[in-house]
Amino acid sequence: MTERPKPGFETRAIHAGARPDAATGARSTPIYQTTSYVFDDADHAASLFNLQSFGYIYSRITNPTVAVLEERVASLEGGRAAIAAASGHAAQFLAFFTLLEPGDSFVAAPNLYGGSVTQFAKSFPKLGWHCRFADPNDVEAVDRALGADGKAIFVESLANPGGVVVDLEPLAPLARARRVPLIVDNTLASPYLCNPIDWGADIVIHSATKFLGGHGNALAGVVVESGRFDWFASGRFPAMTQPDPAYHGLTFAETFGDFGFTMRARAVALRDFGPALAPMNAFLVLQGIETLPLRMARHCENALAVASHLERHPKVAWVSYAGLPSSRYHALARKYLPKGAGAVFTFGLKGGFDAGVRVVEAVELFSHLANVGDTRSLIIHPASTTHRQLTDEQRTAAGAGNDAVRLSIGLETAADLIADLDQALARG
């Protein structure tokens, strides 16, 4: 009974979740462009609706193309199961809807993607969910913010946009002691650079729109469950451990064990709110993931070259890239991101806000838009765009102060990117 060793990351990036199509042998993952699936008979239909058999009902809940993406990302993150959603924001919603009841609260890092800060601080309160912000690299501050009633800790492993690396390892024992899940958004690192589950994360969230898809052509989100959180021992999540009347008294953590969270996110949150991922988008993201290891290596190499150049530029006041030895997060980057510090970072201009705006407008090769993690290099001024709805204090905490320009370094020739920034800086 010899077993093959666990396949490497590159092998799983290509093969995990995908097998030759059962019916046709098609080797590339087919795009199952269908809303629904024929039942064998009434009994089969009933058992599917009751979650008593494995099978497809309706593409709002499961779809064969989407399922390949889910298993692929679960494998790359070292998780037990995953659920895909129409966007990273939708993925976050599915995760929190599965965890929280009205009146519940959780703690998040203040240095997050601005859209997440807004989702947590502005929209979640309308559902009765309350977010308290605390510096994730200060465990005692996180513990204080958690208090007696906080039910989750949410951080970004590599924060957007500031080049901030979160010290994950000390957060895991805190989460365990408080019997709450540690949720890590791993979007900017991608599973190639960091696997938060290895550092104790219970749930990992991705905007797969970014480096996973990698080509700027499809929105997608994924929630990965580690399978290690003991819902019964925690006792703080009734949705997982108490019979669900909508499913004839089925208890998700009992029936599905270490993938109960994913099953409930799917069978309740995704079913009832409907932010399903389109199969075409799942296919595009899968296509991207096949080359994730190659792309991430080049993204990091190019980013380091550009960041190093900017750091020496006379018009640049500061560069916040954890791959640079000058970064206060360099040691954490070497620990958590040994293969590279990602490709998204910020820099500030000595000329301040106005100079930053001029550079954004003067570049020729960088695309001025609100995304990251594309093959193309991207540029934006966060304070007036992605982080616009935040207060000045929140923007500064998020690493998106008024003078900050965010770059997402693509796969072009590094020298061309440097030349483009040089000409823009010369005009700025």
Partner 1 sequence: MLRAMIDHDHYPDSLIRDVLRRCRVIAMVGASPTWVRPSNFAMKYLQAKGYRVIPVNPVAAGQTIHGETVHAGLGDVPDRFDMVDIFRASDQVGPIVDEAIRLKDAKGISTIWMQLGVRDDAAAAGAEAAGLVVIMNRCPKIEYGRLSGELSWSGVNSGIVTAKRLRAP
**Residue 17, interface with partner 1 (CB under 8 A)?**
yes
If binding is defined by CB under 8 A, does position 254 make contact with partner 1? yes
Single-letter residue type at 381? H
Torsion of CA 124, 113, 180, 269, to 10 degrees: 50
Residue 64 vs 356, nearer CB to partner 1: 64
Can you say how many angstroms the Cα of residue 81 is from the centroid of all Cα atoms in its chain? 15
Interface region with partner 1, contact rule CB under 8 A, candidates 118-126, 205-213, 261-269, 407-415:
261-269
Q: Return the sign of the alpha-carbon dihedral for residues 265, 271, 277, 282.
A: positive
Give the x-and-dash track for 68-87 against partner 1 (CB under 8 A): x-xx--xx---xxxxxx---
Beta carbons within 8 Å of 235's beta carbon, 6+ residues apart: 179, 241
Answer yes or no: are the C-beta atoms of 158 and 321 closer than 8 Å: no
Report the residue number, 16 or 152, with the smaller CB distance to partner 1: 16
Contact between 210 and 115 (Cβ < 8 Å): no
Subset of 29-68 contacting partner 1 (CB under 8 A): 47, 50, 52-56, 62, 64, 66-68
With b meaning 16 or more CB within 10 Å and e meaning fewer, what string describes 97-134? bbbbeeebbbbbbbbbbbbbbbbbbeebeeeebbbbbb
For position 402 contacting partner 1 by CB under 8 A, the verdict is no
Q: Which of 36, 255, 389, 391 binds partner 1 (CB under 8 A)?
A: 255
Decide whether 83 or 117 has the Cβ nearer to partner 1.
83
CB nearer partner 1, residue 80 or residue 299: 80
Least distance in Å: CB of 191 to partner 1? 12
9-21 burial, b at 16+ Cβ within 10 Å, e below that, comes to beebbbebbbeee
> Residue 367: phi, psi to the nearest 5?
-95, 130
**Does residue 92 belong to the site contacting partner 1 (CB under 8 A)?**
no
DSSP 215: S
Q: Candidates 259-267, 368-376, 404-412, 419-427: pick the segment binding partner 1 (CB under 8 A).
A: 259-267
CB of 62 to partner 1, least distance (A): 6
Size of the site for partner 1 (CB under 8 A): 47
Chain residues binding partner 1 by CB under 8 A are 1-3, 6-7, 11-12, 15-17, 19-20, 22, 25, 47, 50, 52-56, 62, 64, 66-68, 70-71, 74-75, 79-84, 248-250, 254-257, 259, 262-263, 266
